[in-house]
Amino acid sequence: MNSPAQPRCIRPRYIRIDARDNVAVVVNQGCLQAGSVFPCGLVLTEPIPEAHKVALADLAEGAAVLRYGVVIGYAKQAIARGSRVHEGLMTAPTAPLLADCPLATAVPGPLPKLDGYTFDGYRNSDGSVGTKNILAISTTVQCVAATVDYAVRRIKAEILPHYPNVDDVVAIAHHYGCGVAIDAPGAAIPIRTLRNLSLNPNFGGEMLLVSLGCEKLQPARMIPDGTFPVFADELSVAVLQDAEQGFGEMVANIMAQAEKKLKRLNERRRVSCSAADLVVGLQCGGSDAFSGVTANPAVGWAADLLVRAGATVMFSEVTEVRDAAHLLTARSATPEIANDFIREMAWYDAYLESGGADRQANPTPGNKKGGLANVVEKAMGSVAKAGSTALMGVVAPGERVTQKGLVFAATPASDFICGTLQLAAAMNMHIFTTGRGTPYGLSVVPVIKVATNSGLAGRWHDLIDVDAGRIATADATVEEVGWEIFRLILEVASGRKKTWADHWGLHNEFVLFNPGPVT
Interface residues with Ca ion (CB under 5 A)? 283, 285, 413, 415
CB nearer Ca ion, residue 349 or residue 415: 415
Q: How far is the CB of 415 from Ca ion (least distance, A)?
A: 4
CB closer to Ca ion, 74 vs 351: 351
CB of 197 to Ca ion, least distance (A): 18
Nearer to Ca ion among residue 163 and residue 315 (C-beta):
315
**Ramachandran sector of residue 76 (left: φ over 0; alpha: ψ -120 to 50; beta: rest):** alpha
Q: How far is the CB of 439 from Ca ion (least distance, A)?
A: 14
Nearer to Ca ion, 14 or 432 (CB): 432
Q: Taking each helix axis from N to C terminus, what angle separates 415-424 and 188-197, rounded to the nearest 10 degrees?
A: 60
What is the 3-class SS of 54-97, one letter each residue? EECCCECCCCEEEECCEEEEEECCCECCCCEECHHHEECCCCCC
Torsion angles phi and psi, residue 32, rounded to 5: -90, 140
- Shortest Å distance, C-beta 302 to Ca ion: 18
Q: Least CB distance from residue 432 to Ca ion, whole Å?
A: 8
Total Cβ atoms within 10 A of residue 382: 28
DSSP 199-245: T-GGGTT-EEEEE-SS-SS-HHHHS-TTSSTTT-S-EEEEEGGG-SS
Say if residues 385 and 369 touch (Cβ distance below 8 Å).
Answer: no
Closest separation in Å from C-beta 63 to Ca ion: 32
- The DSSP symbol for 144 reads G
| CB closer to Ca ion out of 104 and 372 | 372
For the stretch 206-229, what's the b/e string if a residue is b when 16 or more beta carbons lie within 10 angstroms of its beta carbon? bbbbbbbeebbbbbeebbeeeebe
Beta bridge mates, 158:
none
Question: Cα 420 to chain center, whole Å?
Answer: 9
CB of 180: closest distance to Ca ion in angstroms?
25
